[in-house]
Amino acid sequence: MKAPSIIHIQFVALRRLLGETKEQFCFRIRNMFQKIFEWIMSLRLFSWLYITVQNLLIKSLSVGPIPEHVSFIMDGNRRYAKSRRLPVKKGHEAGGLTLLTLLYICKRLGVKCVSAYAFSIENFSRPKEEVDTLMNLFTVKLDEFAKRANDQKDPLHGSRIRIVGDQSLLSPEMRERITRVEEITKEGQDFLLYICFPYTSRNDMFHTIQDSVQDRLETKLQSRIDIKKFTNKMYMDLYSNKCELLIRTSGHRRLSDYMLWQVHENATIEFSDTLWPNFSFFAMYLMILRWSFFCTIQRYNERNHSFFERMYEGVPSILKRKKKPMSLYQFPNPPLSVSISGEE
């Protein structure tokens, strides 16, 4: 008796699947679970539950200290596309969507400034096709952000964008577009986004030195160039002083010539093994929660009060145990003195 055709087809498909390599098999399984998860999240009940939990976590985190400046090294877009057998362009598009989602979250949490490492000067050494793809995608995202920043119904309304880096390496058309977008969003006061494009920290410091010396020669001022003046001349202006939380994805444990000046003062650097397009709200939430927890402890220590001491201070004086005065005769005898010169 022959098996039904549908069962026979499934057995053939299973035999082919088992005959594939381990890497292909893992890819198929991962892709299957991803589709199942996307289908579950598309259901109204689960979507409502996810949003409700997210709002609750954001409100609870907003009670404590929040970093003023959060920065992202968005690494892993190419590997994301390769792992899913997609064009590199799709990986960068997915990375852009992740950044937009996290910008919404940061603005709701009360973060004042977000910076993102979008394109390193070293990336010009990549294949021309990929560089052109990044440039075209960048222009599209610029226009999209400007549109959202001026839309009163969008959560990013009231935001300002600044593109920082060595713009002399960009085409005149790109520089003109950047100037136009910055002009459109210059009135934004609620939230500031720095896109580092193209950028390296060494280039930032080099240009700052050049500009500082040039201003000194032109104005002929006798005042010295101090750290504060030097810092305020960097690409990120007042936010060049420090970055409280720097997050890098994709598993690499290095800064790649990014934010070397900004992370010098009590910065928390978090490394995640997750590829940037897969970096979720919950992953960032846990990092900010950890930062908030240790920041609270640090602030208590700076005030020279432990948690239990503060609790003891809140107890009414009538309930506190009074310390008995100690007389001079109750102190222990001093230790024996010994001459180090040998003289008595």
Residues facing residue 128 across a β-bridge: none
> pLDDT tens digits, the chain, 344 residues: what are they?
444 565 666 555 556 655 555 556 565 666 666 666 666 666 677 778 878 888 899 999 988 899 999 999 999 999 999 988 889 999 999 999 999 999 999 999 999 999 999 999 999 998 898 899 899 999 999 999 999 999 999 999 999 999 999 999 999 999 999 999 999 999 998 999 999 999 999 999 999 999 888 888 887 766 777 888 889 899 998 888 889 999 999 999 999 999 999 988 789 999 999 999 999 999 999 999 999 999 988 887 777 655 556 565 665 665 556 666 767 667 777 767 666 665 55
Strand partners, 268: 245
Catalytic residue among 123, 150, 203, 241: 123
Residue 194 tokens, joined: 């720095």
The span from the CA of 195 to the CA of 116, in Å, is: 5
Tell me which of 75, 77, 204, 278 is the catalytic residue. 75
SS (H, E, C) 182-214: HHHCCCCCCEEEEEECCECHHHHHHHHHHHHHH
Q: Token match 């920082």: residue?
A: 164
Contact 58, 290 (CB under 8 A): no
Domains in the chain, CATH or no CATH each: 68-198+241-302 (3.40.1180.10)
Tokens linked to 239: 């936010």
Whole-model pTM above 0.85?
A: no
123 noted as active-site residue: yes
- Compute how many other C-beta atoms are within 10 angstroms of the C-beta atom of residue 285: 17
What HEC string does the chain produce? Answer: CCCCHHHHHHHHHHHHHHHCCHHHHHHHHHHHHHHHHHHHHHCHHHHHHHHHHHHHHHHHHHCCCCCCEEEEECCCHHHHHHHCCCCHHHHHHHHHHHHHHHHHHHHHHCCCEEEEECCEHHHHHCCHHHHHHHHHHHHHHHHHHHHHHCCCCCCCCCEEEEEECCHHHCCHHHHHHHHHHHHHCCCCCCEEEEEECCECHHHHHHHHHHHHHHHHHHHCCCCCCCHHHHHHCCCCHHHHCCCCEEEECCCCCCCCCCCCCCCCCCCEEEECCCCHHHCCHHHHHHHHHHHHHHHHHHHHHHCCCCHHHHHHHCCCHHHCCCCCCCCHHHCCCCCCCCCCCCCC
Whether 273 is catalytic: no
Residue 176 burial by CB count (10 A; 0-12/13-18/19+): exposed, middle or buried? exposed
